[in-house]
Structure 1
Amino acid sequence: MPVETDIRTKIIGAAQKLIARYGYGKTTMADLAQACGMSPGNLYRYFPGKLDIAEQLAIRAFEEEVSALREVVRRSDLSATERLKLFFCTQLRVTHAKLNDDPKVFEIAEIIRRERPELTNQNLARIRALLSEILSAGNASGEFNIPDVVNTAETIQCATLKYHYPQLFTQLSLAELERELREVMNLLLQGIFCGKAPSNGAKQGRNSQN
């Protein structure tokens, strides 16, 4: 690993620990410099400001989420219906786990959403692309009847945003959120199933508790 990359990684790691302890607002570049054993001036050589470090933390979190969702898309042992339900269940569980492990991480998410909206939009687009793969697979298998996969992926994403943003969890437990999500998915699936009765695999996916 190049020296500069190694130092940037060290800074990002230190920032994650400090922000988890004190919050984004109370963590200063001087604090980060001290934690990394360097001068503030040297720190600015690697990151122009605190927001740029927050962006890297957000990118790291986005990558973890997309990686988990990509694994669901690749589950060839599951029907498209099963993968679709597991896709959103996984997204909810990843988000909920982050909330429990590090509540202050969502302070960063809110700042990035406000200050660097293009980054949030890019992540949503990546998730939609993965979702489109599942919908296309469902069309190919005869489970779904979706004339416009891209538009449908966007619509489903909009309908399930509550389970992606902890600000909308309304203090519900994970079990309660999963129950809600199952009901939402059942309604959405009714709209995209092929005209014939779902296959056994699709029925199993609809009844799965995941």
Structure 2
Amino acid sequence: MTDSDDPRTKIIEAARSRFKHYGYTKTTMAELAEDCEMSPGNIYRYFPGKLDIAEEICRNASIQNAAALSHILTRPGRSAAERLYDFLFQDLRETFHTLEQDPKIVEMAHIVATERPQFLNEGVKREREVLQRIIEFGNASGEFRVADPVFFAEIIQSATMKFMYPQLFTSLSLEQLERELKGVYTMISTALMAGIELADPGVQALESLSEEA
């Protein structure tokens, strides 16, 4: 059986096409069943509901995006700072162009993230792991001096959140967003190279209590 013959794949592809054209909220399971030449009951054998199909579409897209960002780790002749730059701007541009080309898919992703916050956490974790590896690469080359790459990767995500989610773009153009991101990138890369300590506040609190005891 090829992927195109797999019922789950067939349902996902039909749903992606219909969601992209008509939108998630205006699509019914009965319409998806008709597109797949299945009965509605047969679709429910593979997915409990429409939201589960949408979540699977978004998860596949998230995995593909993380894989594309991972390629930055193997680009030859790039410093750690340049890899970080590539990561941040590639993610921004991909997100912005998706918003321009497929607004209904972005709307669907927002619904999934709201209804299934664990899905959003999975995607954030995938990208954070790539950031962590970039920082570790910089540490190994002597370019960065970061004591806790995992925590610093979280800080980078927090500092660049505006540029990763279309809902936060407001009415800014890509040029305006990139201008802002360059400023944020400069501050982040300076901190990475200077070895500025960013301790987890929770850890600091525990250490303070331990010292007082």
TM-score range, shorter chain: 0.7 to 0.9
Correspondence 1:23-102 to 2 at 5 A: 23-102=23-102
Q: C-alpha root-mean-square deviation of aligned residues, in Å?
A: 1.6
Is the 1:80–1:137 Cα contact (8 Å) retained in structure 2? yes
Instruction: Give the Cα–Cα distance (whole angstroms) in 1 for the partners of residues 102 and 2 of structure 2.
Output: 30
Amino acid across the alignment from 1:78: R
Note if 1:116 corresponds to 2:116: yes
The percentage of aligned residue pairs carrying the same residue is 50
Instruction: Give the aligned partner of residue 177 of structure 2.
Output: 177
TM-score of the aligned structures, taking structure 2 as reference length:
0.87
Q: How does 1:152-191 map to 2 (within 5 A)?
A: 152-191=152-191
Q: How far off is 1:112 after superposition? A: 1.6
CA distance in 1, matches of 2:4, 2:57: 17
Q: Aligned partners of 2:50 and 2:187: how far apart in 1?
A: 43
Q: CA deviation at 1:76?
A: 3.3
Q: Which residue of 2 aligns with 1:198?
A: none
Matched residue, 2:13: 13
Q: d(CA) in 1 for partners of 2:74 and 2:158?
A: 23
What is the rounded CA distance, in whole Å, between the counterparts of 1:4 and 1:183 in structure 2?
45
Contact kept in structure 2, 1:14 and 1:35, CA below 8 Å: yes
Which residue identity lines up with residue 153 of structure 2 in the other structure? Answer: A
**Residue of structure 2 in register with 1:132 after alignment:** 132
Counterpart CA distance in 2 for 1:127 and 1:3 is 27
Aligned residue for 1:145, secondary structure, equals coil
CA drift at 1:23: 1.0
Letter of the structure 2 residue corresponding to residue 34 of structure 1: E
Could you report, residue by residue, the CA deviation over 1:103-158 in whole angstroms, capped at 9, with x for unpaired residues?
A: 01122211221221111101111111110100011111111111111111100110
For 2:181 and 2:61, how far apart are their aligned partners in 1? 22
Unmatched tracts of structure 1, length 5 or more: 196-210
Supply the distance in 1 between the matched residues of 2:23 and 2:145 (Cα, whole angstroms): 47
Q: CA deviation at 1:79?
A: 0.3
Which residue identity lines up with residue 27 of structure 2 in the other structure? T
**Relative to structure 1, is the Cα distance of residues 135 and 26 closer, same or farther in structure 2, using a 3 angstrom cutoff?**
same
Q: Please report how far the alpha carbon of residue 67 of structure 1 lies from its aligned counterpart in structure 2 after TM superposition.
A: 1.4
Give the structure, 1 or 2, with the largest relative contact order (CA under 8 Å, sep 6 or more). 1
Pairwise CA distance, 1:175: 1.6
Encode CA deviations 1:11-53: one digit per residue, 9 max, x unaligned: 1111111111111111000010111111111111111110110
Structure 1 CA distance for aligned equivalents of residues 10 and 4 of structure 2: 10
CA distance in 1: counterparts of 2:3 and 2:42, whole angstroms: 14
Residues 4, 10 of structure 2: 8 Å contact kept: no
Indicate if the aligned counterparts of 2:33 and 2:39 stay in contact, CA closer than 8 A: yes
1:194 positional shift? 3.5
